[in-house]
């Protein structure tokens, strides 16, 4: 009988020792986690630290491709009267108007843009209506806008403006439940806004992607310089030949 009690006591002691080791280990781990959190986040509560990092990330604007210093001299060489500040302001307004159009499910908000851009907005709205969803871009604010590219060919010139922007972005179902994004946490994003100049509308409209190079209406020589005022081969003025229309044609989130 005494041996039985001795075994029970030994077992209890071993259990207490094991619990003591576990408690000590957990305590050390918690202490190290708190120290790690203080070193990394500046707070001993790692959950608060992670939340702090998330908030800082949400408040930090996205970096953009700032190619203005490279692209603008090329653009002004081809189009001396191109007003960069005016076009940049228009690009920002077009972006904000597009997002407002999505939020309100109406193309009427998009005042500045060609048929391509309006069709893009209309397709976006139709997609939301088909899926019985509502997408919102609230409290939108543009941080910075720069040129991100300049391309020539197929009867048109394309200038790309890139903007960093913040907003409350969320999607709701037909019952008013937020199923994506957040209506309380700011989101940062980047967008490209494409501005095009059509040199010969007939060529572009007939074949947007496969247009041939432009030719002089008099001698048939190729017009190599977009925005040229005369043919380099025969000297025929081609100012009237150029449509010289700038319009916004596409918006793309990066």
Residues facing 163 on adjacent strands = 145, 191
Q: Phi first, then psi: what are they for 232, rounded to 5°? A: -75, -10
Q: Which residue has the higher pLDDT, 79 or 33?
A: 79
CA distances, 102 to each of 65, 218, 249 (Å): 25, 47, 16
Q: Which helix (H) or strand (E) holds 129?
A: helix 115-130
Q: What angle do CA 185, 160, 141 make, to 5 degrees?
A: 25
Q: Give just the sign of the alpha carbon dihedral 23, 29, 33, 38.
A: positive
Q: Encoding tokens for residue 251?
A: 């918006």
Helices marked H in the chain:
2-41, 46-59, 68-78, 84-104, 115-130, 201-206
- Is the distance from CB of 229 to CB of 171 less than 8 angstroms? no
User: Which one has a higher pLDDT value, 76 or 17?
Assistant: 76
pLDDT in tens, 73-94: 999 998 888 999 999 999 999 9
CA-to-CA separations, 53 to 19, 37, 181, 214, in angstroms, rounded: 36, 12, 18, 54
Q: Report the chain's mean pLDDT, rounded to a whole number.
A: 82
Number of H helices, E strands in the chain: 6, 5
Condensed to tens digits (0 to 9), the pLDDT of residues 176-204 reads 999 999 999 899 999 999 999 876 555 54
Better pLDDT: 239 or 94:
94
Local structure of 169: helix, strand or coil: strand
Is the pTM higher than 0.75? The answer reads: no
pLDDT recorded at residue 219: 74
* H or E element in which residue 159 lies: strand 156-172
Bridge partners (DSSP) of residue 171 are: 135, 180
- Answer yes or no: are the C-beta atoms of 247 and 196 closer than 8 Å: yes
Q: What is the mean pLDDT of residues 125-149?
A: 96
């Amino acid at each position: 009988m005494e041996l039985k009690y001795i075994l029970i006591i030994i077992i209890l002691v071993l259990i207490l020792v094991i619990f003591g080791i576990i408690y000590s280990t957990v305590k050390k781990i918690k202490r190290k986690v708190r120290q790690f959190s203080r070193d990394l986040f500046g707070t001993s509560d790692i959950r608060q630290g992670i939340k702090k990092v998330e908030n800082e990330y949400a408040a930090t604007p996205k970096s953009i491709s700032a190619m203005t210093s490279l692209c603008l001299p090329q653009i002004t060489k081809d189009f001396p009267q191109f007003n960069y500040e005016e076009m940049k302001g228009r690009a920002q307004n077009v972006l904000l108007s597009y997002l407002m159009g999505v939020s309100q499910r109406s193309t009427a908000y998009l005042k500045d843009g060609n048929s391509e851009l309006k069709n893009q907005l209309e397709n976006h709205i139709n997609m939301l209506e088909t899926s019985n969803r509502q997408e919102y871009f609230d409290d939108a604010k543009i941080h910075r806008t720069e040129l991100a590219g300049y391309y020539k060919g197929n009867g048109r010139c394309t200038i790309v403006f890139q903007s960093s922007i913040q907003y409350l972005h969320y999607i709701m179902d037909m019952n008013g439940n937020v199923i994506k994004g957040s209506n309380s946490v700011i989101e940062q994003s980047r967008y490209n806004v494409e501005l095009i100049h059509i040199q010969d509308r007939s060529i572009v409209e007939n074949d947007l992607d496969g247009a041939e190079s432009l030719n002089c209406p008099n001698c048939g020589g190729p017009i190599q310089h977009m925005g040229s005022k005369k043919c380099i081969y025969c000297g025929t003025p081609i100012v009237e030949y150029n449509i010289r229309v700038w319009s916004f044609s596409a918006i793309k989130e990066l």
